[in-house]
Amino acid sequence: MKIDRDAPIGVFDSGIGGLTVAREIMRNLPSEKVVYFGDTARVPYGNKSKETVLRYSRQIIRFLQEQKVKAIVIACNTASAFALDAVRHELEIPVLGVIEAGAVVAAKVTRNHRVGVIGTVGTIGSGIHKEQLQKLDPEITVIGKACPLFVPLVEEGWLHDPVTAEVAKRYLGELKVQEIDTLILGCTHYPLLRSTIQEIMGEHVRLVNPAYESALELKELLTRKGILASGKEEEEFPYRFYVSDLADEFKSFANSILPYDVEMTQKIDIEKY
């Protein structure tokens, strides 16, 4: 199948969190067009079953294919953990998750072979980071910790708040005693809590941001396949945003974190797909 290099990249998440990934794609691949889908009607995915998240992911992928995307980024750790393996074999275009790139960097930078992972209940329960890290280096001990309250705290906008710091201390205390030297921020929302997490863990713990690492992985993948955007095609809306609910709320959150003015956000009926 011939892929059009100037087609957009499809990026999806359970809601707003994947914007941290979209932001890195915009920064690191400025010539690429992006179609983003946030499943704001069915968020969160982090406490849903694998079957449900896989069904949702397939519906969104059908929608993105209708938008004629040239590649898909599953910008949600839970959906990457539950759906990537299955959907990768069902599509002719490249599909990327956000787990692998973070695992590769963590395996490279850890000195004491003790890596922590924080994420949703679904992601941590899936054991995917342990599987991937130990495939890269069987000597690595992986300590996972689900931090479910982080998502609502970020969505409330409490990024630098004593309540968030208190919750973080409680969650991260368990990882601190395990003497990890590397911590993967295995949920889309967590890069927004980076400074709080770093302060609690201490400067000696290296935080790995899979959103950034995945954007670099995407660049390498598009280059390898010869489908990086030519940069010649001008478009009125190079970034298009679709949601399954609450388009206005999505738009104001997106405008608060993206280095770009979000003008077009449209609600679509995802259950149709």
- Catalytic residue, chosen from 76, 133, 222, 227, is 76
Nearer to ligand DGL, 190 or 228 (CB): 190
H or E, element range at 145: strand 141-146
Nearer to ligand DGL, 50 or 225 (CB): 50
Least distance to ligand DGL, CB of residue 140, Å: 22
Reply yes or no on whether 147 is catalytic: no
Q: Choosing from 7, 19, 81, 187, which is the catalytic residue?
A: 187
Question: Residue 193 CB, nearest distance to ligand DGL (Å)?
Answer: 12
Cβ proximity to ligand DGL: between 78 and 164 the closer is 78
The answer to whether the CB of 215 falls within 8 A of the CB of 238 is no
Interface residues toward ligand DGL, by CB under 6 A: 13-14, 17, 43-46, 76-78, 120, 123, 151, 187-189
Nearer to ligand DGL, 63 or 150 (CB): 150
| Number of Cβ atoms within 10 Å of the Cβ of 68 | 12
Minimum Å gap between C-beta 42 and ligand DGL is 9
State phi, psi for 250 to the nearest 5 degrees.
-60, -45
Residue nearest to ligand DGL (CB): 46
Nearest one of 218, 212, 270, 210 to 245, comparing CA atoms: 270
What's the min distance (Å) between Cβ of 119 and ligand DGL? Answer: 6
User: Phi and psi at residue 25, in whole multiples of 5°?
Assistant: -65, -45
Those residues whose C-beta lies under 8 Å from the C-beta of residue 16, and which sit 6 or more positions away, are 38, 40, 155, 250, 253, 254
For residue 96, list its beta bridge partners.
Answer: 73
DSSP assignments along 200-266, one per residue? HH-TTSEEE-HHHHHHHHHHHHHHHTT-S--S----S-SEEEEESS-HHHHHHHHHHH-SS----EE
Distance CA 71, CA 87 (A): 12
Tell me how far, at minimum, the Cβ of 138 lies from ligand DGL, in Å.
26
Whether 76 is a known active-site residue: answer yes
Residues annotated as catalytic (active site), given as ranges: 76, 187
